[in-house]
Amino acid sequence: MPSINELDAAITRLAQSERGRDALTGILDWFDNGGLGLDQGNMAACSTILWAAWTDFSGTTRHSIRAVLANPNDPGESTLQSIHHREEEGIRS
């Protein structure tokens, strides 16, 4: 867990650029709109999504979120599983 000094340094760093300030604004909006009231399972899911966003899964993460939000009542096979199956079959999207 980061210390209060590490937290302060992270916020200060982001505040030094326009993109960083945009990120801070998005994070604050998320917190203000219920992000801090999530249960343990949903907090873990958010942590996984944020981790994946800065890995080789960055595009897949955004694509998966968009797909599920577009059809929340019937997401069917997860987008990640669908992509994996297409890759196994040599099919590019």
CA 3 to chain centre: 23
Sequence-distant (6+) residues with CB within 8 A of 35 are 46
Which sign does the torsion angle of CA 21, 23, 29, 32 carry? negative
pTM of the model: 0.66
**How do the pLDDT tens digits run along the chain, 93 residues long?**
889 999 999 999 999 999 999 999 999 999 998 888 999 999 999 999 999 888 888 888 888 888 888 877 765 555 566 656 555 666 554
Sequence-distant (6+) residues with CB within 8 A of 83 are 60, 63, 93
Backbone phi, psi, residue 52, to 5° = -65, -30
